[in-house]
Amino acid sequence: MWNYADIAKMIDHSLLNPTLTYSDLVAGCRLAVAYDVASVCIMPYAVPLCSELLQESDVKVSTTIGFPHGGHTTAAKAFEANRAIDDGAQELDMVVNVSRVKSAHWVEVQDDIRAVIEVAHGRSQKVKVIFENAYLTDDEKIRLCEICGELKADWVKTSTGYAPTGAITEDLILMRKHSPEHVQVKAAGGVRDLDRIIEVRAIGVTRIGTSSTPKLLDEARARLGLEAITTQAAEVSGY
């Protein structure tokens, strides 16, 4: 059985839609605090705002690196990681270089991931490595799991939420099977109701990325017989 915190602390509340306004971002951060989720994943430029709004809460600040396509240079990703941490980010969701993965340039792929992990771990922060599984073969996903295990990534993550498919069950099972115990699994894209989050939790997923936070957690509280949370913050779209 699970309790409210078990579910709420799986959620990275996504504020990554490029059309979100400043007011949307503020509302989204306040919503995340009201529901006491794991983190807010916000656009890099808004990390200082997010850090300020979350500073009195137990909700972490997360942001993206090399998002959404992963094709940035490794030096740019490392710089972006350092700047995000300077601005208050505690968790970084980085996208692998999908082109290099598809080219089987595994040394370069590993160096790219290592650069961001070294920055983050050197500053006591964490990294989620986004594969973008919609574009990959199972063999490529497995090799990425192995690389992330060797580099001690904190999470492997299915997707950005902007590819044709997001977190499918078969990929989550594969990623959990081929990742060492010290690497957690994050599902992003398509986890939008309580039954689905319970399903992926049973597979071994510890985080999800979603903008459906109110729907998920209102349903969880209702099922547990808990009082509803009231907030003026509106749900805003992400993934």
For 208-228, what is each residue's pLDDT tens digit? 999 999 999 999 999 999 999
Q: Is 6 a catalytic residue?
A: no
Predicted TM-score (pTM) of the model is 0.95
CATH number for the segment(s) 4-224: 3.20.20.70
* Candidates 93, 112, 154, 171; catalytic one: 93
The confidence score (pLDDT) of residue 233 equals: 52
* Candidates 60, 126, 128, 186; catalytic one: 186
> Among positive and negative, which fits the CA dihedral 70, 92, 89, 239?
positive
Contact 142, 104 (CB under 8 A): no
Quick one: what percent of the chain has pLDDT higher than 70? 97
Give dist(CA 138, CA 155) in Å, integer.
Answer: 18
CA–CA distance from 114 to each of 63, 183, 238 (Å)?
Answer: 18, 15, 28
Please name which of 91, 181, 93, 84 lies closest in space to residue 130, comparing C-alpha atoms: 93
The confidence score (pLDDT) of residue 232 equals: 59
The confidence score (pLDDT) of residue 214 equals: 96
Q: Is 87 a catalytic residue?
A: no
Contacts of 197 (CB under 8 A, 6+ apart): 7, 10, 191, 208, 216
**Identity (one letter) of the amino acid at 54?**
L
The confidence score (pLDDT) of residue 231 equals: 78
Q: Is 157 a catalytic residue?
A: yes
- For the chain, residues with pLDDT lower than 70 are 232-239
